[in-house]
Chain A
Amino acid sequence: MRRYLMLIAHDPGGWESATAEERRLYVDGHAAFDRFVDRHGRRVSGAPLADADTATTVRHSAGRRVLTDGPFAESVEMIGGYYDVELPDLDVAIAAASLLPPAYAVEIRSVVELDPTGEQVG
């Protein structure tokens, strides 16, 4: 099993402007994703996120901590939620991500396991 983080990008306001029928398709997509992952692996966690314009970004600049209002990447799409899952390989992860609502762009990232000294495991 490999661990994948799925970052969901979504146009802001997509949900608010959706009709009842469209909202049902969103809910169905997530339910299909959940069922698929449960069948092929394990859901570790997952959640929708508050709008990106409410994000706070922490950086360090010249030895000082700098806080900025907003997400670290400026883009039209924003990360609206995530799933942390265990699945056998990228093909299964792609199959799972394909079940989510078609309005999403889903970025699939492998989770890297580190040992206590910070060395990559495996």
Chain B
Amino acid sequence: MTPLERVVREEWGRLVAILLAQFRRLDLVEDALAEAVASAQASWTDATTPDNPVGWIVTAARRRVLDRLRAEAMAARKEPLLAVEAAGRPKEGVMVDDGTAVDDDLLRLVLMCAHPALPPEGASALSLRLVMGIPTSDIARLFLVPEATVAARITRAKKKVVAAGIPFAIPGNDAIGERLDVVAHTAYLSFTAGYAPGSGPDLLRAELAGEALRLARVTRSLHPSVTLDLLVVLMALQHSRRDARVGTDGSLVLLADQDRDRWHHDEIADALALLRSIENGPGPSSTLGRSYHLQALVAVEHATAARPEDTRWDHIATLYAGLETLTPSPAVRVARAVAVAEAEGPRRGLALLDGVTLSGHRLPAVRGELQARAGDLDRARESLAEAVALCENEIERRHLESRRDALGT
């Protein structure tokens, strides 16, 4: 990675935050930064790379914003120098090397991008673009939507930030917890998008999901939040399995069939250590935080089972029962039924699915699998055929077809 690539990858959010703190012009800041990076790309060589690359880019981008402000002032026939002086006076404490002030600006940016008045998919796209510096094309790849869709979401979100007056500010202590929950929800939305099976082997999508994990990590380094801690544990444990979950042909490898040597055990150890470090502190007060806690504990059960047959399914079933009490939904019921089937037998799992309705292929797929295990092959074939018909994802459909075909006719 060149110094410039490193700055763009690791410092993009800080760069945006510094410029936004000074100029408060979301519409100008991003273009100015893109131009500054392009000019760095053209002029930096190994010998001429500046000692302070962040400072260099901020200075170059500042100059471009000032040019635009001058041009605007001219167009408005105002006295150009006066207008620029008013808009361009650096805010006190917003120097690049003043770590605390910049951290606060970065937190302001994070909270602005994940504002509850923005639609969740817009907030996710805006956070990945402005805070993490992910190119629009990569965000589109993560969410499996056309690039134009992501570009439109970002444009609309920026327009709302400016028009509605969404502040670049840190709310008071009574409100910040709730706002950090929205950041957590936004990060998890991006993360789970990266793990929705795609149309072929696409390892980059798992890497992009890792950016959502980085967003949560960066945010919790700026302000403490038990919800974000628990989300980091949950995501890190899921992310540790990324290499094992896709076969060489792009096929989906289920948890039970994964080569556990290919899990990132160092990351699992870090996540478990983080969980231990917060376990004695005050637990999460929000429903969201408590649901991440239960889901993280489920992930711990999977991550610490040396072999699939060592999985403590009775513990997992209890955790899902708790999750269902906290946030009742058909999806949680299906997950709980799977755990109960593993712990107590397929018929006990099937009983939990009576009367459940859930659109999509997941419910008939689980039902078919459990019916097959219970020896009810006719019903299993019917359920799996239904699941195949409903499944819109090529990789998952191939998996379901192979399950159905294995049952014979």
Contact = CB atoms under 8 A, between A and B. Distances in A.
A89 B167 contact: yes
A89 B117 contact: no
A89 B163 contact: no
Which of B117, B164, B165 is packed against the most chain A CB atoms within 10 Å? Answer: B165
B117 A88 contact: no
Nearest to A91: B167
Interface in A8-31: none
A58 B166 CA distance: 33
Interface residues of B, number: 10
Interface of A: 2, 4, 88-91, 93-94, 108, 110, 112
A36 B171 CA distance: 16
B169 interface: yes
B169 A91 contact: yes
Contact of B166 (A4, A90, A112): A90
A110 B166 CA distance: 11
A108 B171 contact: no
Contacts of A112: 163
10 contacts: A4-B165, A89-B166, A90-B115, A90-B164, A90-B165, A91-B169, A93-B165, A110-B163, A110-B164, A112-B163
Most buried by B among A4, A89, A90, A94: A90
A112 B117 CA distance: 19
A112 B175 CA distance: 28
Nearest to A120: B163
B165 A110 contact: yes
A90 B175 CA distance: 14
Interface string B149-169: 000000000000001111101
Nearest to A108: B164
A88 B164 contact: no
B212 to A, nearest CB: 25
A94 B117 contact: yes
B167 to A, nearest CB: 4
A2 B117 contact: no
A4 B169 CA distance: 19
